[in-house]
Amino acid sequence: MAELIDGKQLAKTINARTQQAVTQLKAQGISPKLIVIIVGDDQASQIYVRNKHRKAKQLGIISETRQLPEETSQAELLEIIDQYNHDDTVHGLMVQSPLPPQIDEDAITRAISPAKDADGFNPVNVGNLYSNSPLNFPVSCTPKGIMTMLAAYQVKLAGANAVIVGRSNIVGRPMAALLLNASATVTVVHSHTKNMQAYTREADILIVATGIAHLIKGEDIKPGATVIDVGMNRDEDGKLTGDVDFDSAESVAGKITPVPGGVGPMTIATLLQQTVELAKWSE
């Protein structure tokens, strides 16, 4: 049976370190502050953001939502982002997806100051990541959290065959860059890949981020591989489930993340860790 990678427990450790860092910063007169902008009333966003704020408050981070109406124009949103970019009391800024159709997500990502980019999505930061610049920060939180997990569970990266299923800007692509920077041999597969299983079966490290429940089965996994399941899907009975078929995978994999309790808690812990690092950086 595979060793379980306990994201929930590791997130607690990261959160405790973040809390200590917040205390130290406050002693220097800096109060880390995160602003999350929501446009419209997408219910999933509201829940997700509420969870972020609750956790942030527990750690002593000032965390505020700027709720804007569904009909907010792109110009109005850009103006508000500009105000936060110039507000020295704000260290982390993010705009929650999804955005209404009148707003161009790419323009918004570009508008957030790279120095306050809590999500790590600004192209300047993405470029730094892809060029493995020493200024390789901030970085998209889900893949960054996965790197923390791999390190905590002593998964060897240099020379490992890493296969990433999915190529989104928030997970697959930054994950590929982080693993490449760590000297893994990286393959990214996606919906156009022919015979995807031929790649996944060769993976020492398999990272799955597709949003398709149970896409990867035990037979698609190399025996002993480390399997990281990013997927968050709802079963017919409403239960949260991953992109990996856990029951068949756990007898093949060497290490595996559960859903829930794997990547999810690490993403929020990493966002808050990164916000505090941005506050430190702003000194």
Known catalytic membership, residue 119? yes
- Footprint (CB under 6 A) of ligand NDP, residues 104-163: 142
- Can you say how many angstroms the Cα of residue 114 is from the centroid of all Cα atoms in its chain? 17
Taking contact as CB under 6 A, which single stretch among the options 14-22, 59-67, 218-226, 262-270 is the one that binds ligand NDP?
262-270
Which of the residues 117, 119, 220, 243 is marked catalytic? 119
**Known binder of ligand: residue 167?**
yes
User: Is 54 assigned to a binding site?
Assistant: no
Instruction: Report how far apart, in Å, the C-alpha atoms of 229 and of each of 76, 81, 178, 217 are.
Output: 38, 33, 17, 12
CA angle 132, 33, 55 (to 5 degrees): 90
Q: What is the per-residue burial (b if ≥16 Cβ within 10 Å, else e) of 80-102?
A: bbeebeeeeebbbbbbbbebbee
Q: Which x/- pattern, by CB under 6 A, does the window 196-235 give for ligand NDP? A: x------------xxxx--x--------------xxxx--
Least CB distance to ligand NDP at residue 140 (A): 9
Name which of 52 and 167 has its Cβ closer to ligand NDP: 167
52 carries an active-site annotation? yes
Q: In the bound complex, what is the minimum distance in angstroms from residue 109's beta carbon to ligand NDP?
A: 14
H-helix or E-strand spanning residue 64: strand 62-68
Instruction: Using DSSP, state whether 200 is helix, strand or coil.
Output: helix
Q: Respond yes or no: is residue 102 known to be catalytic.
A: no
CB of residue 283 to ligand NDP, shortest distance in Å: 29
Burial-class residue 270 by CB neighbours within 10 Å (0-12, 13-18, 19+): buried
Phi, then psi, of 33 in degrees rounded to 5? -135, 130
Nearest Cα to Cα of residue 56 among 32, 26, 73: 32
Please identify which of the residues 33, 52, 55, 255 carries the catalytic annotation: 52
Binding positions for NADP(+) are 166-168
Contact positions vs ligand NDP (CB under 6 A): 142, 165-168, 170-172, 189-192, 196, 209-212, 215, 230-233, 263-264, 267
Residue positions annotated with a catalytic role: 52, 96, 119
